[in-house]
């Protein structure tokens, strides 16, 4: 059977909805890689530089942005985050599904580029459940938790206009299966497009 083409998979969703866990599960299945974002945020205790993020200064961030090396970027919770371009090209050339775990502003920018990406929004079963997960995670204080929850409401309102699909993360296994199914479906569509002689990922300039 012909190998399915690579694809950019944008995975967004409100704070503590389980984006990182879903991404880890997909990567463990094989065929997926994660795009490592750059961020100016402080590293958390359990995070590793180069694995969770590349932690950089505001000056370094501005340099990358001004050199047009970020495919999208946004300010989230008063820190800057961005997706470097080159690793995306490498993942696509290797026919991988490349996961971009980014916020809705990043999703909006990716949609506008027309890169043949699959945009999936993960939603919580309800807001009470989201507040409970955020509280139990214990990575933010009470004020930060309130700010993140109010942003979550804004993100969920925007989601329907931007994303191809909204998947509710009630049961982790079911959620991972559903996301994987959507990704494979999108990749089969890309294979048809490729067979029809169309250029994949227009604008990303993949050199053979
Ligand atoms: P956290 O600080 O909790 O790791 O991430 C905060 C938010 O920033 C999350 O919604 C996360 O998905 C988003 N984010 C992480 N990396 C990027 C990125 O490269 N671009 C954009 N636009 N958002 C990002």
CATH, residue 184? 3.40.50.300
Q: Which helix (H) or strand (E) holds 194?
A: helix 172-195
- Using the predicted structure, report yes or no on whether residue 6 has a pLDDT greater than 90: yes
Beta bridge mates, 81: 39, 74
37 C-beta closer than 6 A to ligand 1: yes
Segment 30-59 mean pLDDT: 96
pLDDT for 199 equals 92
- Flag whether 200 is in a domain: no
Tens digit of each residue's pLDDT (9 = 90 or more) over 70-106: 999 999 989 999 999 999 999 999 999 999 999 999 9
Specify the pTM.
Answer: 0.92
- Flag whether 204 is in a domain: no
151 C-beta closer than 6 A to ligand 1: no
pLDDT for 2 equals 80
- Flag whether 16 is in a domain: yes
Cα of 89 from ligand 1 centre, angstroms? 20
Cα of 171 from ligand 1 centre, angstroms? 23
pLDDT for 208 equals 53
74 C-beta closer than 6 A to ligand 1: yes
110 C-beta closer than 6 A to ligand 1: no
Closest Cα to residue 148, out of 161, 136, 132, 131?
131
Ligand 1, atom 17, lies closest to the CA of: 102
Q: What does the block give as tokens for 8?
A: 């950019």
Total of domains in the chain: 1
Q: Which helix (H) or strand (E) holds 89?
A: helix 86-93
Residues 167, 175 contacting (CB under 8 angstroms): yes
81 C-beta closer than 6 A to ligand 1: yes
pLDDT for 7 equals 98
Q: What span, in angstroms and rounded, lies between the C-alpha atoms of 201 and 203?
A: 6
- Flag whether 176 is in a domain: yes
106 C-beta closer than 6 A to ligand 1: yes
- Flag whether 157 is in a domain: yes
Helices (H) and strands (E) in the chain, counts: 7, 9
Range of the domain at 175: 7-36+92-195
Segment 176-204 mean pLDDT: 95
Q: What is the mean pLDDT of the chain?
A: 94
- Using the predicted structure, report yes or no on whether residue 13 has a pLDDT greater than 90: yes
Place of tokens 């359990």: 46
- Using the predicted structure, report yes or no on whether residue 202 has a pLDDT greater than 60: yes
- Flag whether 135 is in a domain: yes
Tens digit of each residue's pLDDT (9 = 90 or more) over 100-150: 999 999 999 999 998 999 999 999 999 999 999 999 988 899 999 999 999
pLDDT for 207 equals 61
């Amino acid at each position: 059977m012909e190998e399915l083409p690579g694809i950019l998979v944008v995975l967004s969703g409100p704070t503590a909805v389980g984006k990182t866990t879903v991404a880890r599960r997909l990567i463990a299945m094989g065929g997926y890689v994660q795009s490592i974002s750059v961020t100016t945020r402080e590293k958390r205790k359990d995070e590793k530089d180069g694995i969770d993020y590349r932690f950089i200064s505001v000056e370094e961030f501005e340099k990358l942005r001004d050199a047009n090396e970020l495919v999208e970027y946004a300010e989230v919770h008063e820190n800057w985050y961005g997706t470097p371009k080159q690793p995306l090209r490498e993942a696509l050339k290797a026919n991988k599904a490349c996961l971009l775990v980014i916020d809705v502003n990043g999703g909006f920018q990716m949609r506008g580029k027309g890169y043949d990406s699959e945009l999936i929004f993960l939603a919580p079963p309800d807001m009470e459940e989201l507040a409970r997960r955020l509280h139990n995670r214990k990575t933010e204080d009470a004020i930060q938790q309130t700010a993140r929850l109010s942003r979550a409401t804004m993100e969920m309102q925007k989601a329907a206009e931007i994303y191809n699909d909204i998947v509710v993360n009630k049961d982790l296994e079911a959620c991972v299966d559903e996301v994987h199914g959507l990704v494979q479906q999108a990749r089969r569509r890309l294979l048809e497009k490729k067979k029809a002689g169309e250029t994949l990922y227009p604008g990303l300039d993949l050199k053979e």
